[in-house]
Amino acid sequence: MRFQSKVVLITGAAGGLGEASTRRFASEGANLILTDLDQEKVETLAAKCRAEYGSTVLTSAGDVSEETVVNGLVQAGLEAFGRIDILFNNAGINPTGNVVDTPLAVWDLTMKVNLRSAFLMTSRVIPSMIEAGGGVIVNTASIASFKASTNEAAYSVSKAALLQLTKVTARDFADLNIRVNAVCPGILENFMADRKVISSEEMMAERRARVREIVPFKREGRYEEIANLVAFLACDESSYVTGAAFTADGGLTV
Ligand SMILES: NC(=O)c1ccc[n+]([C@@H]2O[C@H](COP(=O)([O-])OP(=O)(O)OC[C@H]3O[C@@H](n4cnc5c(N)ncnc54)[C@H](O)[C@@H]3O)[C@@H](O)[C@H]2O)c1
């Protein structure tokens, strides 16, 4: 029970990695603050955590790239639990396009959701962590943070910047007992971009064949496998780790 009585705030909680990580934290005793754009899904997940793990859960639906939403969320979390021990910045979007065909609005939205939200959450949560004597932040970056991904210009740039946000924050707050690290997943079982373009079993089979060809493990990653890494970075087992990017991609970038 590595997270007994710890307070964990998770953004993008209703998505694939958000739910797997929520379950990992809940199963090890955490109190949860769950937030997502999708209110229904986040409420359903919270109800499951209460029923299955006996978790205490605060939920909130909203856009975590908006300052007022983040301020309200952090305030509500602190009022409910008194502190936030672990912040998991995980909300993200994955539009496709190169620099020519990416509309400016899509570029701006990607930076807003994938980067500004993490900046806002981090800057609003850290003061309470300092007051409490420390804390841990985990950011969901991507292998696209360091390897240019074809036809994902805005996404790759936003995730590269998120990795740098991880590092500068780790440096600036290391002496205040705040650790900041990033997980960098490769291709996961339900790849975000694919949900928009894969509409048939045949296309899914083609995609699986492609994954077998390019990924040394010959399969996609499972959300639970990334959630295990998130939990490792969030708990005391990684007490000497900060500013690091942990890749989990089945060998894709080796
Ligand atoms: N799925 C992959 O293959 C993959 C690979 C590398 C990195 N990632 C990263 O992992 C994270 C989670 O991805 P996923 O696969 O679980 O995707 P997902 O789409 O299942 O989950 C993302 C969640 O974020 C929420 N969200 C989006 N914009 C938001 C906003 N402005 N405010 C609040 N919530 C918002 C969505 O509602 C959704 O529930 C993302 O940051 C993504 O970039 C995913």
Determine which residue's CA is closest to atom 25 belonging to ligand 1. 12
- pLDDT tens by residue, 113-164: 999 999 999 999 999 999 999 999 999 999 999 999 899 999 999 999 999 9
Q: What is the DSSP string of 62-88?
A: S-TTSHHHHHHHHHHHHHHHS---EEE
Q: Are residues 20 and 81 in the same domain?
A: yes
| 88, part of any domain | yes
Residue 10, helix vs strand vs coil = strand
Does position 192 have pLDDT exceeding 60, yes or no? Answer: no
Q: Whole-number mean pLDDT of the chain?
A: 95
Closest-CA residue, ligand 1 atom 12, reads: 17
Token representation of residue 232: 């490792």
pLDDT recorded at residue 242: 99
Same domain? For 158 and 198 the reply is no
In a domain, residue 2? The reply is no
List, for residues 3-47, the tens digit of each pLDDT value: 999 999 999 999 999 999 999 999 999 999 999 999 999 999 999
Alpha-carbon distances of 46 from 26, 138, 209, 235, rounded to whole Å: 10, 21, 36, 22
Residue 1: inside a domain = no
Burial class (CB in 10 A: 0-12, 13-18, 19+), 140: buried
Residue 199 DSSP symbol:
-
Q: Which atom of ligand 1 is nearest to the CA of 38?
A: 37
Considering the domain boundaries, does residue 153 fall inside one? yes
Q: How many angstroms does the Cα of residue 71 sit away from the middle of ligand 1?
A: 21
Q: Which single residue is written with the structure tokens 């997943």? A: 185
- Does this model's pTM top 0.95? yes
Atom of ligand 1 nearest to the CA of 16: 16
Tell me, yes or no, whether 125 and 209 share the same domain: no
Number of domains making up the chain: 2
Do 27 and 148 belong to one domain?
A: yes
Question: Residue 196 pLDDT > 60, yes or no?
Answer: no
What range defines the domain where residue 44 resides? 7-186+222-247
240 among known catalytic residues: no
